[in-house]
Structure formats: C-alpha cells, structure tokens
Structure 1
Amino acid sequence: MPLNSDRIQAYGDELYHALRARETVAPLTEREPGISIDDAYHTSMALLERRKADGERVIGKKIGVTSRAVQDMLNVRQPDFGYLTDRMLFGNGEALPVSEQLIAPRAEGEVAFVLKRELAGPGVTNAEVLAATDYVMPCFEIVDSRIREWQIKIQDTVADNASCGLFVLGDRIVDPRDVDLVTCGMVMERDGEVVSTGAGAAALGSPVSCVAWLANTLGEYGIRLEAGEVILSGSLVPLLPVAAGQSMHLTIGGIGTASCRFV
C-alpha cells in the first residue's frame, strides 16, 4: 500500500531537518518495509520543496549508482536520481565546506552534461541526448547521506535526493560529439596521489546512456530535463571518503580536469 501524503511529508521534513542539522536518521526502509520507489520519489519532492522554500533554486538533475563498483559498495542494484540546486554548486578549485555542511562525504568523478534543449521521456535515445547537449564538462560530485552509516537501499537514497551533497564543475567545455564518451579514461588523485581510475563505459556503458535513462525515468513522472540544466551522469570510479584538509584533482581524457579542496 502506498504511503499516505502525511507520512510522505513527515519523512521529507525529517530528511530536511537532518540535512540542516548534519544529523542522520534511521533508514526509511527499516521503518517502512513496504515503501516503494514512487513513495521515495514523492518524499524527495517534499524534501526539495522545503529547500526551495529556503531560497534554493533547481539548476539540474543527477543520476547516481550507475557503475558496478558503486553498486557493490552500497549494495544498491539500480540507478537513482535527484535534483541539483544552486547552493550545491562550486567553481573549479574552490574550497568545499564539508566540515560545515556534510556528514560522511564521499567523492565521485563524472561527466556533466549541459543541455541546450529539453529532453522528455519516454523513448529518449542516446542520439537524442547528444543532439540536445550543448557541451560536457569534468565534474566532482561530493555525495553524502542523511541515512545512518550509509545503510541504504534504493528507496532510502531516492528519498534522500539521491544522496546529493555538493558538486564542482571544471572550467573546460567540450562538444560531446568530439570525444568518445565510452572509452574516455578518468584518473582521480587525492593529495597528489592517484587513488582511482575509470572509464566512461563504467556508467551503464556510457554517460550518454545514463542521461537517456534519467530522461526516460523522469518521463514516467511527467518531468523533463530542461534546456540549460546541468545533468550529472554518474561516477566512473568507486566512491572515495574525503575529509577537511584534503584536496582532489581529476582528469578525463579528451574532456579536461577539475579540482577541489575540502575545509
């Protein structure tokens, strides 16, 4: 039986307060064993409305849990999705206030897409994603979980806005038709040492496929990917715990670099 609107709102409020207080809550799937992905999505919307009421503005969307490595780490077997706001975005090389805003941050490296026209599922193809993309950029996403000790199932992470934290866009923009997004390689460094490598194929076979999946999944809810939005297409490497005092750098072949430091 679907959760009623009062329970959905209560869980959205709970996750909102956990976000603001940097506290964790028990997994929703422990307390609501029958919670569906639809219930979780509506909970995430209740959370988002609280953030928008604080003045946050939606600037894009994200796909998470796209690679086998991340699925194995989190024991989640399908992708999730969430919203990006202007207060999550930081510039290349900027300091990210993880000690003030996040709980248990983990870094991902991925390809960000910026759209020049809308995509509305169902039925969106990879070719249509490329045609709708203005450019791609290298990106760090710093994910975080308001769910206790990252003990998440797919419903928990969807309800928690796909475990969104902060993200950093590199400075270089590239036409996606000028780079092979399947074979492009990524190298991630922490404090000057290589800690992980990956390739575009790690994310559902291609970051382009991830964006198509997102457009088609959101299409089931009557939601489009809008022109001008930033779309984070999912990590090409395993999640890496990070802490204040560290710095990170990534390079994606044919696309560029991104850097950030944590305070």
Structure 2
Amino acid sequence: MDPRERAKRLYEARRNRVPVQPLTDADPSLGADEGYLIQQELVKLLLADGDRIVGHKVGLTSKPMQRMIGMDSPDFAPVFESTVYSDGAEISASAFIQPKIEAEIVFVMGSRLRGPGVTAEDARAAVAGVGASVEIVDSRIVDWKIRLADTIADLASSGAVARSSRLVSLSEVDTRLVGMVMSRDGELVDTGAGAAALGDPVNVVAWLANTLGERGVALEPGHLIMTGALHAAVPMSPGETYLAEFDRLGSITVHVVA
C-alpha cells in the first residue's frame, strides 16, 4: 500500500470518527520517514478540503514520551485553522475518537524563521511572544496502539488546540522555569514545568525551524508553535472543565461538551 492509500485510510477515520488498525501491524517495517510521507499525503487531502495551516505542533519533547514510543527525538505536524479554539471555548468530545488533553506552552512567531543553523537565540529573537495553551490529542488508531510511524502519519496524534489571547514577551519570562498546574472541575490533575520540553520550549522552536528547513519549509509570522506536553496526557469526557494555570503566562480554560 502506497502512502496515498494509507493517508486516505486516516483521512476517512478522521472524517467518520472510526479508528483503524495500526498501520505498522500490516507493515512492521514502517519507520519515521515512511510516516512523514503518509503525513504529507494526509495534509494534501485536508488542504484540498479548504483548511489552512496556521502553525505546527511538536510532540515527544519529553524523555519519558520518547522512551515510550521508542524515539530519540521529537516529531511534528502542522496545526490546521479548523482545529484552533480560544480561551473558554466549548469543545465537543464527539468531534474526536479517543481524546486526551495536555497543557503546553505556545509561541507565536513574530518573524520568518528557517533552518538550517537556527540557534535558540535565533528562535528567541524571531518569537513575538509566549502564552498558555492546551492541546487535545486524539488517535485515529484503535485504542492508541501506536508505534512511531503510526503517530507521525496521523498528524502526530493531533486533535485540537486552545490558546489564550494573552502573549508575554520572552524578555519577561524564563520559559524553562514556567510552572503549570492542570485542574479538572477544580481538582488537581497534574503539574509540570517548561523545562520538560527539550530543556526549554525555546529549544523546541529552534529544533522545528531546523527540521522543517531541511524540507524547504519555514516558520512564518503569526504561526503558532505548540511545544509539547508538560505532563502526562489526561483522558477527557463530556461535562468536564479543564483549567491550566501557568506562572507568568496566565491561564486557559476549556469546557468539554457532548
């Protein structure tokens, strides 16, 4: 089965909310390179539907997540306009198959950034600001039985993004030290800190610029850059309200509805 056919299976799973068996079950030889080829074909299908890329997400930025998937570096995928929500949004659980929620630090690009050779300082200079966000991850693979190629092909298991409108200048905050508290219906769920994302979320921006630069892609002004979960993903259900509070950055709230 070529990448286009595999991408069509994932596309139909997204549209119909019916998961498919792991791609790597049928072909255990699939690796990261093959996963990105499938992802590229899936992106073409979503763009053909009229959606638009407004940024990128980076996953597997913490060592525990990398070990779980069997990878020694992050993965990435585009963020589509149709999946972006604002603070306080009501998000329908029925839009997903098996959603989980993660608190993340998000950057908004101020100027164009393209690798190779991008340093953390280059990334810092190109960023307009940093803010609070949550990502809803979802898998179009049955029961989250994903290997590396499965999650990469499936847009790095992306579902949706909610972000605060408040942006903080990097001159005012050390993103390594940003603490985070995640609550569900007022009860503590988990905590985290910025350093969980490659030691510093700014490093994630530099890594992404260099990795995409090898593919001829730049980070564009206004693009959102989701820098990876600061804690273990939390399964979410209708009727729940999640609040992620970040030191210096403020908070972000989402309401899960049926």
Task: Give TM class, smaller chain.
Answer: over 0.9
User: In the alignment, does 2:91 pair up with 1:81?
Assistant: no
> Runs ≥4 in structure 1, deviation > 2 angstroms?
68-78
CA gap 1:73/1:245 in 2 versus in 1, 3 angstroms: farther
Deviation per CA, 1:201-221: give whole Å up to 9, x if none.
Answer: 111101111111111111221
User: In the alignment, does 2:232 pair up with 1:248?
Assistant: no
Name the amino acid aligned to 1:142: I
Match of 2:113 among 116, 119, 131: 119
2:31–2:148 Cα contact (<8 Å) kept: no
Aligned to 2:5: 10
Task: Tell me, in whole angstroms, the C-alpha distance in 1 between the residues paired with 2:244 and 2:66.
Answer: 21
User: In the alignment, does 2:171 pair up with 1:185?
Assistant: no
SS at match of 2:254: strand
Match of 1:131 among 117, 125, 145: 125
Aligned residues: CA RMSD: 1.4
2:69–2:148 Cα contact (<8 Å) kept: no
Aligned to 2:23: 28
Question: Identity, % of aligned pairs?
Answer: 41
Aligned to 2:61: 66
Deviation per CA, 1:36-75: give whole Å up to 9, x if none.
Answer: 3222112111111111111111111010111234345656
| TM superposition score normalised by structure 2 | 0.95
Task: Tell me, in whole angstroms, the C-alpha distance in 1 between the residues paired with 2:196 and 2:51.
Answer: 32
**What displacement does 1:106 show?**
0.7
Task: Tell me, in whole angstroms, the C-alpha distance in 2 between the residues paired with 1:255 and 1:54.
Answer: 35
Aligned length: 257
**What displacement does 1:242 show?**
0.6
Pairing 1:231-246 to 2, within 5 Å after superposition: 231-246=225-240
Deviation per CA, 1:18-45: give whole Å up to 9, x if none.
Answer: 0001111111122122223222112111
5+ long unaligned stretches in structure 1: 1-5
CA gap 1:237/1:143 in 2 versus in 1, 3 angstroms: same
Name the amino acid aligned to 1:81: F
1:74–1:150 Cα contact (<8 Å) kept: no
5+ long unaligned stretches in structure 2: none
SS at match of 2:212: helix
Task: Tell me, in whole angstroms, the C-alpha distance in 2 between the residues paired with 1:210 and 1:90.
Answer: 22
1:18–1:25 Cα contact (<8 Å) kept: yes
Name the amino acid aligned to 1:215: A
Task: Tell me, in whole angstroms, the C-alpha distance in 1 between the residues paired with 2:250 and 2:52.
Answer: 27
Deviation per CA, 1:112-146: give whole Å up to 9, x if none.
Answer: 11101111112111101110000111001000000
Aligned to 2:37: 42
